[in-house]
Amino acid sequence: MSAEATDKQKTVASPQAEWEENILAPQLAADPERRAEFKTISGLPLERVYTEADWPKGAPLAEKIGYPGAYPFTRGVSPTMYRSQFWVMGMYSGFGSAEEANERYRMLLERGQTGFSIALDLPTQCGYDADHPFAVGEVGVTGVHIGSLADMERLFKDIPLEKVRQIRTTANAIGPITLAMYIACFEKQGVNIKNTRMFLQNDILKEYVARGAYIFGPEAGVKLSADVMEYCAKELPGWTSLAMSGYHIRDSGSTAAQELAFTFADGLAYVDECLRRGLDIDSFAPQIWTFLSVGIDLPEEVAKFRAGRRIWARLMKERYGAKNPDSMKLKIFAYTLGGNLIAQQPLNNIARVAIETLAAALGGVQTVATSSYDEAFAIPTEEAATIALRTQQIVANEAGVTGSVDLLGGSYAIEALTDVLEQKVLEYLDKIESLGGAVRCIENGYYQRELGEASYRYQRQIETKDRILVGLNAFQSEKVGEIPVTRTNPESELRQLAHLKELRATRDSAMVKKTLAGLIIAARANQNLVLPLVDAVKAYATLGEICDALRGVYGTYKPSQVI
């Protein structure tokens, strides 16, 4: 073969080599790249350009990613996705008293919202009544205070519960108590509970790692969460009994891989507990959702959602033997990441939230809650909450990304990132399992150490300006306009205290004592506590009284110091 023929064969066989030599090399010589390495926010390496050589290895691409609505659900849990119905558009909202929160919910529903998340204040999440010393100054600050069935009744007054597509709550340590309040409230209001679609977060394990709103220890926490899952599997199959939560893990500084891995490890702890009770995997797994963040690194976030679906499908099918396809589908509730919001130049947050919403849509999630631009420093104003909702509506109706299912599927870059994330998550899951599972990793501080290191690396990137945050470490403005701020009405706490005093004066105190005694007996016998809790709630026992009764059985959790 002649030298000329050999050169021609090389050119045909390696077009990338020709591109690198004839096009890329002269460009780099004249204008070098500004950094030695390019990475995603989580530190995943980004290639200069992706080609078919970077496509997932180990299986034909069609087999690896499949088709929308088909195992392993990489491309989405429905074959038609947003062509049939947009994602549920909701907002995380609630503040002050139940009356004030009710007014905000009704306003958002009137403006096109199709679901909402009930933000609870810290005393509620940690099981304290409004008059407890720990609650002073915190009632109604970070969310609405729900201290009894009477408060729940005020919260849902005149809201068409059977028409709202999804109502979510942050209740975790108090998950089974919140379920009992819903059951009692709907029954009293004459609502057919089987026609409602309540979404219980009910994930206590992430509280020990990322938020701190826990009451009892991890073992008791898993037991109580499983009580909810067991009850809903038998009585309320249309409800979401668990939303295993990665959002707060990510907001605490984790990488995308850690967010998925720690979330799934926690979820598997609840699954194992339900199986130990004799439940069949297909009786409760279809009710499981996940609650994840959606950050601003669009390629990484899209890959994260796709990898998450594939991993969960295989765990359910291969590890647990699930046969129902609905057990394998990872339904995702995504919330735009609060940690990305910046108090400096807060109107820039509108652009950030729009990009994150776009990433959620391209990633194929089922529910989106959008942050308001002023969340970095205040309770969202009505205007800011409306803009956040309009952001979702613009992406859904105007951006052209909902007409095709998995618009980025088959992208060299997206498929490569999806594969890399999948491998990193599986490595973490193997590590967690080798250490004894999620509960052991919480108790020995493994999660906390991993999050601390990841958070430190990210903060160093900001300080060294390896990662630019507009308005914070670059492109600062000397003059900042005044932004309207919603402030908690100090009368809200007084109103709540008055409600509590009136409740205690008018309820049947003997019935309260009787139902609380029955609850303690059931807890000591290791029974499912949902129905005893319903009895106590119907008697108008307060949240604090119920939690105090359970503290007497389970104790309170005091974490060991993590070094």
326 pLDDT above the threshold of 70: yes
The CB density around residue 400, as the number of other CB atoms within 10 Å, is 9
Distance of CA 9 to the CA centre of its chain: 53
Of 110-119, 188-197, 404-413, 458-467, the range with the highest mean pLDDT is 404-413
Longest dimension (CA), the chain: 103
Please give the average per-residue pLDDT across 429-437, as a whole number.
Answer: 98
Residue 31 pLDDT: 92
d(CA 278, CA 489): 49
d(CA 307, CA 333): 15
Residue 94 pLDDT: 66
Domains of the chain: 79-463 (3.20.20.240)
CA angle, 144 then 146 then 147, to 5°: 140
d(CA 242, CA 200): 6
Query: Cis peptide before 15, with omega less than 30 degrees from 0?
Result: no
Please give the average per-residue pLDDT across 172-200, as a whole number.
Answer: 92
Mean per-residue pLDDT of the chain: 91
The CB density around residue 86, as the number of other CB atoms within 10 Å, is 17
482 pLDDT above the threshold of 70: no
DSSP bridge pairs for 45: 39
Residue 261 pLDDT: 98
d(CA 201, CA 479): 41
529 pLDDT above the threshold of 90: yes
168 pLDDT above the threshold of 60: yes
Q: Show Cβ contacts of residue 499 under 8 Å, excluding neighbours closer than 6 positions.
A: 97, 147, 150, 151
Which of 71-85, 364-378, 495-509 comes out lowest in average pLDDT? 364-378
Which of 2-11, 74-83, 506-515 comes out lowest in average pLDDT? 2-11
**CB-based burial label for 354 (10 Å; 0-12, 13-18, 19+):** buried
Of 16-25, 42-51, 84-93, 223-232, the range with the highest mean pLDDT is 223-232
3-state secondary structure of 200: strand
123 pLDDT above the threshold of 90: yes
CB 43 within 8 A of CB 255: yes
Residue 561 pLDDT: 61
Please give the average per-residue pLDDT across 209-233, as a whole number.
Answer: 96
What does the pLDDT look like over 255-283, one tens digit per residue?
999 999 999 999 999 999 999 999 999 99
372 pLDDT above the threshold of 80: yes
**pTM for the complete prediction?**
0.92
Residue 237 pLDDT: 93
CB 264 within 8 A of CB 246: no
What does the pLDDT look like over 447-470, one tens digit per residue?
999 999 999 998 998 888 888 889
CB 313 within 8 A of CB 271: no
